[in-house]
Amino acid sequence: MVPSLSRSSLLGDQLEARREELRKTLPIGRVVGPADVAALALHIMANSALTGATYDIDGGQQLVAH
């Protein structure tokens, strides 16, 4: 699983500004949160047919990346 933006000290005081920027541009209209990551984790654990895949949880960020 590859979640997009998360709470991290890497962005420091720019975290909220970056989150707001993403809210305006992401197809889902919000930033991915812990509940989204947890839902995918449950799906992966429940589906024994899934093997060796990478799941990007980015709210569509890859679709709109420049």
**For 4-55, how does the pLDDT look when each residue is reduced to its tens digit (9 = 90+)?**
665 555 566 777 787 788 888 888 888 888 888 899 999 999 999 988 888 8
Task: State how many domains the chain has.
Answer: 1
Q: Mean pLDDT of all residues in the chain? A: 81
Residue 3 pLDDT greater than 60, yes or no: yes
Model pTM score: 0.69
Question: CA-CA distances (angstroms) from residue 4 to 7, 8, 48, 49, 53?
Answer: 10, 11, 25, 25, 16
> Residue 15 belongs to what domain range?
2-64
